[in-house]
Structure 1
Amino acid sequence: MPAVQRAIRIAGASGGFSDRQRAIGDLAKNCDIDMIIGDWLSECTMTLHGAQKAENEKLKAEGNLLEEPEGMFDPTFMENLMPALPVLRPKGIRIAVNAGASDTELLAKMVQDEINKVGLDLKVGWVSGDEVTETVRRLYQNGEEFISLMNGKPLKEWGHEMLCAQCYMGGAGIAEAFRQGSDIVICGRVADAAPTIGASMWWHGWDREVDLDQIAGSLICGHLIECSSYVVGGYYSGFKALMDGCENLGFPIAEVAADGSCVITKEKNTGGEVSVGTVSSQLLYEIQGPLYYGSDVTANLEGIVMTQLDKDRVQVTGVKGLPAPSTTKVGLTAFGGYQAEFHYYLCGLDLEEKAEWTERQIRKSMGDKGKELTCLKFSLNGYCQENPRNQDVATVDFRIFAQTKNKALMDKFTIDVPGFNRWCLENFLQSCPGATLGNDQRQSQGKPFWEYYVTLLPQSEVQHEVVLPWKGEKLEIPVQNNVRKEYPRDQESYETRDPVALSTFGPTTRGPLGWVVGGRSGDKASDANVGFYVRHHDEWDWLRSAMTIEKFKQLLDGSDKGKKVERFEIPGIRAVHFLVRDHLDRGFNSTSEYDTLGKNLCEYIRAKHVDIPNKFLRRGRF
C-alpha cells in the first residue's frame, strides 16, 4: 500500500474471452497504472467450462483422461498475459483476473511456471471456493429448495440433473492475496466487479465491516470497467459520432479514490470516448434493480451522479453502500439435450403466407416424431422493402429451431438419415415460390446444449480461501459480520412519483424513440434488462413521465411474452430502467432466440415510434 493515499489507477483489460488479446501487454507497457483487471467468464463460458470439468472427471474415473485436461479455463489467457510479464515489477503493476474458470489452481500453476521459466521475480496467488457442487447437493438432499432467481420456482421443478455448481465470490480474497505479497491473483468465478473491489480494498485499506460506501463505490466502478471497451464507446447509442477511430476504441482506466468515488478515463491514442453518455450506458448494462448485490457490499444506484470533468474524464459519485446479503448467487449446469436449426430463405411478396406454407409442410413431415421435440420454433425474420433496391434486401430468413433429448433425431445432417434435416429438406421441391436453401447444412446437425439454473447459496457455506503457493499457506476469508440476513427476490418497482403531463411539452413528431433516447440492454440468465437515458433535464421529465411499464410493454409489441416487468429510476443520469423477467427463454446456452444475450432488446425498443416533442428534435438526434 502506498504511503500517500492517492487514487489507485485500474485498467480494464478484458470483458470476456472474445476481447482483443493485445490489452494486458499494451496497458502494462504504455499506461501509467497500478493494476490490471480482466473478466474472462460469463454464464455462457462457465456453463461450458463446468460441463467440460464434469466430463473430465468422468474420463478420469474411467482411466481415459488426457494428461493435460482441456476446456477447464480460458485457453487464450496465457497469450494475453505473457507480453506484460517483464514490465510488471519495474512499473509496480499488479494483476487480478477471473480467468481460472473451473480449474483456477492449474492456471495459477501455469502462470507461475511461465514466470519461473523467464527468470522473473513475481508471485502468483489464487482464490478458491467457487466450486460448490457437493455443497449444493448436500443442502438439496437436506431439504433446501433452491428457488430460481428468474422464475421463482424450486429446483425440483427444473427437470434436469445438475452436473456442477459454481458460486460468485467477492473481492475480499483478492485484497488479502495482495496484502500477502501476490503480484498476480488468479480467480475462478468471482463476481465481474470483484477484481476492482479487491484491488481497491487492498490499496486503501478499507474494512468490510464499516467502509460500506467506499466499497460500494468500487463495486460500481468495477461494473463500469469489467466489460472493457463498453464504457469507452462499445455498444453506445451515440456511436455515429465515434466513427473516426472506431477500429480501436481503446480500454478504460479507472481512478478509484479513498472515498470510493472514481474517475473513468481511457487508454491514450485510441478512438472511442469517455463521456457521461458512454458511462451511463455501461452502468445500465445487466443491472437488476436499484440495488446491486455483491458478496462484499450492496450498492444503491438511485443516487449516482456522473460529471464530465474534461475530455475523456467522467467522475462517478453518489453511490451508497448497504450490508451485503447473507447469500450469494450460484449457477447450476446440466445437460439439456441436442439442438439444431434449418434455414429457408424466402423472397419477395406474401412472406407470411410463404412461411405458413413451409411450416405446414415440415410439420407434416415430422408427424408424431415431432412430439419428441422439447422445443420447436418457426420464425420469419426480416421483411421485403417496398420496391426493393436489390434482391438481397428482398430476401428474409425463415428459421426452424428444434431441441430434443433424443439424439437420434438430430444425429446427422446427411440426406439419407430420417430426422430433423430430412424433415426440412424433403419439402424443398414442394416449396412456395421464392424459397431457397443455404449451401451449408451443418447447423441442422444436432449439437449438445446446456441448461443453466441461477439460485442463491448462503455465504456461510462457501469455503472462500486464498492460496499462497510460495508460502505454502492457505488463508480463510470469513464472511463479514454485518451481512443482511435477507433481501427480497423482487426489488422495489415503481412508476415516476411526480409525472409531468405530456401535453406540456408542446407539438410532437412521430418517430423512433432512439432519435432522442439512448440506452443499453443485457441479460442475467433468462432475465433481460434495458435502461434508457436522455441528455437534457426537460427530456428527463418527458422520459420518466412517458416511459411507464404499460408504455414499455406496448413498445415490446409482438415481442411481449407477458412476463413481469419491473421499473425504477436513476435521476442523476436521467435514466429509467426496466427488468423483463424470464424474457430470454432459459438463457444464452439454451435459448431459441436470435438475441441470445438480450443485447439487442434496447435497439429494438429505440426503433419503435413514439410522439417526440419537436423542441427535443431541434437539438439533434443520437
Structure 2
Amino acid sequence: MLRIGNASGFYGDRFEAVHEMLTDGPLDVLTGDYLAELTMLILARDRAADPGLGYAKTFLRQMEKSLALAMDRGVRIVVNAGGLNPARLAAALRELAADQGLTVRVGHVEGDDLLPRAEESGLPGGLLAANAYLGAFGIADCLRAGAEVVVTGRVTDAALVAGPAAAHFGWGPGDLDALAGAVVAGHVLECGAQATGGNYAFFLEHDLRRPGFPIAELHADGSSVITKHPGTGGAVTTGTVTAQLLYETDGARYAGPDVTARLDTVRLTGDGPDRVRISEVRGEAPPPTLKAGLNRLGGWRNEVVLVLTGLDIEAKAALAREQVEQELGAARPAELRWTLARTDHPDAPGEEEASALLRLTVRDPDRARVGRPVSSAAVGLALASYPGFHLTAPPGPGAPYGVFEAAYVDPAAVEHTAVHPDGTRAVVAPAPVTRALEPLAVPPLPPPPVAGPTRRAPLGRVAGARSGDKGGDANLGVWARDEDGWRWLAHTLTVQCLRELLPEVAELPVTRHLLPNLRAVNFTVRGLLGEGVAAQVRFDPQAKALGEWLRSRHLDIPEALL
C-alpha cells in the first residue's frame, strides 16, 4: 500500500496544511496542486516582470518550515508548484536545503512549455503562456532515480498521484486499469479539502469549520481508499467523494496523457468511518493528442456598481443605464454588460436590505476607453440621476484581463523530460498506444419512479450538486442520495428541465451525461463563462455556485422523496 496525501488544491490554499499533513499521521508521499488556468496567467505575469520567477512562491515558504520534517519522516514531496519555471524552483529548493544543513535529492519535470516552439506547433501569436498537460511518467522516472522532492510544471492534476503510484508499483504504459484507478484517486485528491467536506452540498451534516486534507491509500491494482488523518475536521463519505468525482469532468471518459479513465465504471463503497473505497475502475488508451492550455491578455476591463434603494428599482436602473450610455457617446467601450441583482427586500428594516445592485462591466482592447470615460460617466451622475444615487466604490482606471483557451498538440512535438537529482536528463516517450475519444453509448435509464403525490420544493432537498469551470465552459454534476432519488433524478433533470430552471443557460449548448454507478447526471454548458475565468464575463466567473443556484430552484418532487 502507498499512502499519498494532498496539502494544496490551489495557489493560495491553507498555508499550514503541509506541516499539518506531515505531523498529523503517517504518509509515504505528500502532493500539492498549485496550478489552475488562472494561476498560469498570474505566473506568466510574474515571469514577465522577473525571468527568475514563474513558480508558486508559497511552496518555497512552506518548505522553509517543513522540508526537514518531511525528510526526517521519509515522506517524498511531489508538487506542480514549478509552474512556468520548475528548474528555478528546483534550484531554489537545493539552496534552501543547503542553508538548513540538509542533503535533499531534488528532481524536476520540464518540457511542457510550448512558447519556444509556438509557431512550429501552429499556436497563435501573442501568448503569455502555452503549456502542454504532461502525464505521470516523468514524475515516476524522477522518483525511481532517487528523488525525494519532485517539482513539475504543467502536468495533469491527477499525475501528482499517478506518478508516485507508477514508481512504487512498477506500472508501465500498458497498465491501463491500474493507471486509471490512480487517476481517479488523484482527481479526488487534487482539490484538497473538497474531498473532505469542503464546498459540500450537504454541509450542515458535518463539522466543516476546519476540514482536514485527503489521503489516498493506493494498492497495486489501482484501487484505493480515500480517507484523512484521524482527528482532523470534515468528513470523507461516499457523498463527498462523489461530489469531487463530478467536479470539472466532461462525460464518462476522463482523458489524460497516460490513460483515459472510465468514470462510468467507478464503484464507491463505504469502508468504515471516514473511509471510502474506489474500485473496478477501467482504463483505455489515451487520446492521440495532448491538451495544452494557452493564456494571453484579452484587453482591459473595468467595473462600476451602482446602488439602487427603496422603490421603483427597475425604473431607477433603466434611467441610470440610459444616462451612462448617453454620456459615454463616442467613447463607448467595445463591450458593455449590465446586470441588476435584486438583493432588495420590501419594507426592509435596514438600508442595505432595501438596496439592489446595478453592475456595469466594460471591456475594450484600449485601456483608455475603460478608465476615465467610464469613471466620468458614472461619477458625473452623482447629483443628476435617480434618488439615492451612490456607488459601492469609485471606479478604478481599469485592469487587464486574460483569456484562456485549450489547444491540442502532437505528443511527439512535446519533449517531456525528467531531470534527475544528479542532473541526468531522461526524455519520457509519449504513450505507445492511443485511442480516439469516441462518443459512448448512452446508458439505459433506470426504471421510472413510482407515481405518487408531489410537492413544490427546492431540488436541493433531494439532490447534491458540484459545479466548476473548464475554460469557457461550465461543468455541473448532480447526484441523488439513494436509488429512488436516482430514478426520479434521471427521468426528471433533462437538458430541457435544466434550461427551464437556469434561464442563463437556455440559449447555450448543453450536454447531459448519465453516470448510473454514481447515481449522477453531469452537464456541460458550453460558453457560459465566455473566454474563461480570467476574462470575468460573469458574476460567478468560475461557475462555483452554479450548482447551488440549481439546488435552490423549485420543481415538483415526489413526497416520498421529501
- 1:487 equivalenced with 2:441 (yes/no): no
Q: How big is the shift at 1:444? A: 2.9
Distance 1:324 1:578 in 2: 23
CA contact (8 A) 2:292 2:407 kept: yes
Q: How big is the shift at 1:349? A: 2.6
Q: How big is the shift at 1:121? A: 2.5
Match of 1:507, as an amino acid?
Answer: P
Distance 2:531 2:379 in 1: 29
Distance 2:131 2:408 in 1: 11
* CA shift digits 1:353-405 (9 cap, x unpaired): 221111011000011211xx232111111332233343222212111101112
* CA shift digits 1:392-434 (9 cap, x unpaired): 22212111101112122244xxxxxx41111111112122224
CA contact (8 A) 1:217 1:260 kept: yes
SS of 2:561 mapped into structure 1: helix
* CA shift digits 1:156-207 (9 cap, x unpaired): xxxx732331111011100010000000000011111111010110111111
Q: How big is the shift at 1:250? A: 0.8
Distance 2:505 2:224 in 1: 38
- 1:281 equivalenced with 2:243 (yes/no): yes
The residue number in structure 2 matching 1:391 is 351
Distance 2:459 2:386 in 1: 37
- 1:429 equivalenced with 2:380 (yes/no): no
The residue number in structure 1 matching 2:77 is 95
Q: Taking structure 1 as reference, are residues 17 and 164 closer, same or farther at Cα in structure 2, changes over 3 Å only?
A: closer
CA contact (8 A) 1:420 1:444 kept: no
After superposition, residues 212-361 of structure 1 pair within 5 angstroms as 212-242=176-206, 244=207, 246-361=208-323
Distance 2:366 2:67 in 1: 49
Among 129, 149, 158, the alignment partner of 2:111 is: 129
Match of 1:576, as an amino acid?
Answer: V
The residue number in structure 1 matching 2:477 is 531
SS of 1:137 mapped into structure 2: coil
Among 411, 417, 434, the alignment partner of 1:459 is: 411
**Which 10-residue stretch deviates more, 195-204 or 342-351?**
342-351
Q: How big is the shift at 1:48? A: 2.1
Among 587, 590, 603, the alignment partner of 2:548 is: 603
The residue number in structure 1 matching 2:138 is 173
- 1:369 equivalenced with 2:316 (yes/no): no
Among 25, 30, 34, the alignment partner of 2:24 is: 30
Q: How big is the shift at 1:51? A: 3.8
Distance 1:87 1:164 in 2: 34
Match of 1:430, as an amino acid?
Answer: A
The residue number in structure 1 matching 2:65 is 83
* CA shift digits 1:494-522 (9 cap, x unpaired): 5x6336455x3411110110111101000
Distance 1:501 1:174 in 2: 47
SS of 2:71 mapped into structure 1: helix
Match of 1:105, as an amino acid?
Answer: A
Among 445, 448, 464, the alignment partner of 1:498 is: 445
Among 516, 519, 524, the alignment partner of 1:571 is: 516
Q: Taking structure 1 as reference, are residues 320 and 501 closer, same or farther at Cα in structure 2, changes over 3 Å only?
A: closer
Distance 2:195 2:42 in 1: 27
Q: How big is the shift at 1:579? A: 0.5
- 1:202 equivalenced with 2:167 (yes/no): yes
- 1:474 equivalenced with 2:438 (yes/no): no
CA contact (8 A) 2:8 2:17 kept: yes
Tell me, which stretches of 5 or more residues in structure 2 are unaligned?
none
Distance 2:203 2:101 in 1: 45
SS of 2:535 mapped into structure 1: coil
Match of 1:191, as an amino acid?
Answer: T
Q: So what's the TM-score if we normalise by structure 2? A: 0.97
SS of 1:615 mapped into structure 2: coil
Distance 1:269 1:30 in 2: 8
SS of 2:264 mapped into structure 1: coil
CA contact (8 A) 1:25 1:82 kept: no
Distance 1:45 1:352 in 2: 38
- How many percent identity over aligned positions? 34
CA contact (8 A) 2:209 2:234 kept: no
The residue number in structure 2 matching 1:590 is 535
Q: How big is the shift at 1:54? A: 4.3
**Which 10-residue stretch deviates more, 46-55 or 588-597?**
46-55
Match of 2:138, as an amino acid?
Answer: G
Distance 1:594 1:33 in 2: 40
Q: How big is the shift at 1:584? A: 0.5
Distance 1:238 1:231 in 2: 13
Distance 1:313 1:296 in 2: 27
After superposition, residues 432-443 of structure 1 pair within 5 angstroms as 432-438=386-392, 440-441=393-394, 443=395
Distance 2:446 2:349 in 1: 45
Distance 1:448 1:273 in 2: 40
Distance 2:520 2:446 in 1: 14
Number of positions where the alignment pairs a residue of Structure 1 with one of Structure 2: 562
Distance 1:606 1:304 in 2: 25
Q: How big is the shift at 1:471? A: 1.9
CA contact (8 A) 1:131 1:165 kept: yes
- 1:446 equivalenced with 2:398 (yes/no): yes
